[in-house]
Structure 1
Amino acid sequence: MNAMQEHSKPSSGELADVAWHISTKSENGGGSCVEAGPLGDGSRRVAVRHSHRPCGEVIVYTRAEWEAFIGGVKDGEFDFSATT
């Protein structure tokens, strides 16, 4: 699969099967939350959306991109409060 196919917009059928997850840190906060879940198409892609807009836009990441992002989060790479 080439990069263009990997980042193509998921079909409504693919999104219907996503098991969306919200961080336990966000569930009770009432603020803007992000949901993420794997597409069930066997491609190992991960879909991300705004939890307050479930019918809105979806961003899809490859598994490698998602794992790099999670690794950065765990390493504190996105802890912007420490730099401001």
Structure 2
Amino acid sequence: MNTPTPPPVDFAALNWVKATASSNQGACVELAAAPQGWVALRDSKNKDREPLLFTPAELTAFLDGAKGGEFDHLT
């Protein structure tokens, strides 16, 4: 399987969004649409760390698993 190569991204220029259910203490992640359909994910309390990049298919697979309770044992 070929691993896609993410495009170059200016992370500071992205429009970051976090869930309204996130805590005010910064215990959350933020997502942003990145170039070429990729999705960026970062730790809201550590914005200097380089974000992770995912393809839409990767993010969809994760969200489907989360909605289906596959990760409930981790919280």
Normalising by structure 1, we get a TM-score of 0.72
Gaps of 5+ in 2: none
Match of 1:68 in 2: 61
Distance 1:27 1:56, change over 3 A: same
Percent of counterpart pairs with the same letter? 36
Gaps of 5+ in 1: none
> Which of 54, 59, 78 pairs up with 2:52?
59
Deviation at 1:81, TM superposition (A): 5.8
**Larger radius of gyration between Structure 1 and Structure 2:** 1
1:36 aligns with 2:31: yes
Structure 1 residue runs of 4 or more that deviate by more than 4 Å after TM superposition: none
Match of 1:18 in 2: 14
Matched residue SS, 1:65: helix
The whole-number CA distance in structure 1 between the counterparts of 2:3 and 2:37 is 14
Distance 1:73 1:54, change over 3 A: same
Please tell me the root mean square deviation across aligned C-alpha atoms, in Å.
2.2
Asked whether the equivalents of residues 18 and 29 of structure 2 are also in contact (C-alpha less than 8 Å), the reply is yes
Normalising by structure 2, we get a TM-score of 0.79
